[in-house]
Amino acid sequence: MRIVNWGTFSAIAGYHVALFALLPFAFGGFNAATWIIYLVTFILSGLAITAGHHRLFAHKTYDAHPVYEWFWLFMSALAGQMSALSWSNDHRIHHSHVDTEKDPYNINRGFWYAHVWWLFVNPLIPIDERIVGDLLKNKRVMFQHKYYGWIFLAVNGAVFGIGCLFMSPLASFVGCVLLRIFTIHHCTWFINSLAHMWGSRTYSAEQTAADNAVLALLTFGEGYHNYHHTLANDYRNGIRWYHFDPTKWLIWTASKIGLASNLRWVNDIRIQQTLVNKDKQLLLERIRHEIDETALELREKLEELSKQFEAKAAELAKAYRELKVATEERRRILLLEIKRLRRELRVDWKNWVSLTELAEKRYALA
Ligand SMILES: [Zn+2]
Ligand SMILES: [Zn+2]
């Protein structure tokens, strides 16, 4: 694959060479301040990409106060990953065409292609109004896009300057700037490469994105990539309380102090509903050619249980809607109804899981 984007290639290859050539000379000058500045800017630039570029601008999973938007738009320039507008443009294409020729970081073209090579062998993807029309109307996003190069130089220059107060300019340049850009680049790129190769595919088995707790550690929670590709309008990527997703905690905290609002998330019943539909499709497809008695029975059972789940979930959603406008007396009845439905859905879900496990054993499905 021939390099066509020489600008991006020289910038990225150039700083890698500079980093590794200078590191042996700079390392002796590193001190505690180097590591503190490195760590603080690593966290700021990482969260700027996940909470800002990714979950706010690319996916609109919540609304934010202008101050909050400005803050992340400036901090994200520390990461050197293009403007929020360009990043979101590419990323929305990735989501709607994942694993196909149109996917900018299509994993089927190999680890290195999805990791970084795609940036070199394709011309810059043009901004498409049909894809990022909403962002084109956001003045703050457009300001960052227009002056991205200057903002990049300003924030990184500032970090370099602060570093020089505590160490030699060489140590500051290598430890506080180059090393941080290098690590944050590769950690983000792992989501396009490793997170499409390694992990479990609980929510949608038909595509490559995978859930991976190790990657979540390196990427402020973005490792739960199978869930994310299945329900991308959720502000969380790790949906369980024990999932390491600091981006989700940050957004939640911001919502408590008025910096974020309208957090969008998918409730557990909706998630289970999605799983029931996906499992059903997958299993029916796999046993399509089986004609024995058990397959027949299984087909019937799959249809019956999924229909039942669907109906109760719809009833529950209706009860919740009604609850919002209900009188005091009606409220009491509705709350009891909700409790009953949730209890029944829990049982239905357990039955569904046993049925699919049985089917997997019987037909040795992967
Ligand atoms: Zn995404
Ligand atoms: Zn992806």
End position of a domain, from candidates 261, 296, 312:
261
In this structure, is residue 293 part of a structural domain? yes
Q: Are residues 24 and 121 in the same domain?
A: yes
Neighbours of 6 (CB within 10 A): 10
Output the pLDDT for position 293: 82
Q: Are residues 241 and 353 in the same domain?
A: no
Q: Are residues 149 and 296 in the same domain?
A: no
Closest CA to 103 of 258, 250, 229: 229
In angstroms, the CA 114 to CA 108 distance is 8
If you measure from the C-alpha of residue 206 to the centroid of ligand 1, how many angstroms do you get, rounded to a whole number? 17
Output the pLDDT for position 240: 87
If you measure from the C-alpha of residue 85 to the centroid of ligand 2, how many angstroms do you get, rounded to a whole number? 18
Closest CA to 190 of 232, 224, 221, 219: 219
In three-state secondary structure terms, 200 is: strand
End position of a domain, from candidates 261, 289, 316:
261
Output the pLDDT for position 19: 98
In this structure, is residue 154 part of a structural domain? yes
Q: What is the DSSP letter of 64?
A: E
Q: Which ligand is nearest to the CA of 105?
A: 2
Q: Are residues 291 and 227 in the same domain?
A: no
In this structure, is residue 241 part of a structural domain? yes
Q: Are residues 276 and 244 in the same domain?
A: no
Q: What is the DSSP letter of 259?
A: S
In angstroms, the CA 213 to CA 140 distance is 34
Q: Which ligand is nearest to the CA of 58?
A: 1
If you measure from the C-alpha of residue 114 to the centroid of ligand 2, how many angstroms do you get, rounded to a whole number? 10
End position of a domain, from candidates 222, 241, 261:
261
If you measure from the C-alpha of residue 193 to the centroid of ligand 2, how many angstroms do you get, rounded to a whole number? 8
In this structure, is residue 1 part of a structural domain? no
In this structure, is residue 143 part of a structural domain? yes
Q: Which ligand is nearest to the CA of 225?
A: 2
Backbone angles phi, psi at 253, to 5 degrees: -60, -45
Output the pLDDT for position 365: 55
If you measure from the C-alpha of residue 289 to the centroid of ligand 2, how many angstroms do you get, rounded to a whole number? 33
Q: Are residues 275 and 309 in the same domain?
A: yes
Q: What is the DSSP letter of 92?
A: H
Using left for φ > 0, alpha for ψ between -120 and 50, and beta otherwise, residue 262 falls in left
For ligand 2, a single-atom ion, the residues with CB < 5 A are 209
Low-confidence ranges of the chain (pLDDT < 70): 364-366
Q: Are residues 290 and 171 in the same domain?
A: no
Q: Are residues 127 and 57 in the same domain?
A: yes
Neighbours of 39 (CB within 10 A): 11
| Domain encompassing residue 302 | 268-362
* Total domains, the chain: 2
If you measure from the C-alpha of residue 261 to the centroid of ligand 1, how many angstroms do you get, rounded to a whole number? 19
Output the pLDDT for position 197: 96
Output the pLDDT for position 164: 98
Q: Are residues 255 and 314 in the same domain?
A: no
Q: Are residues 178 and 123 in the same domain?
A: yes
Using left for φ > 0, alpha for ψ between -120 and 50, and beta otherwise, residue 82 falls in left
Residue 224's DSSP bridge partners are: 211
Kindly state the tokens that stand for 342: 């949730």
Q: Are residues 159 and 279 in the same domain?
A: no
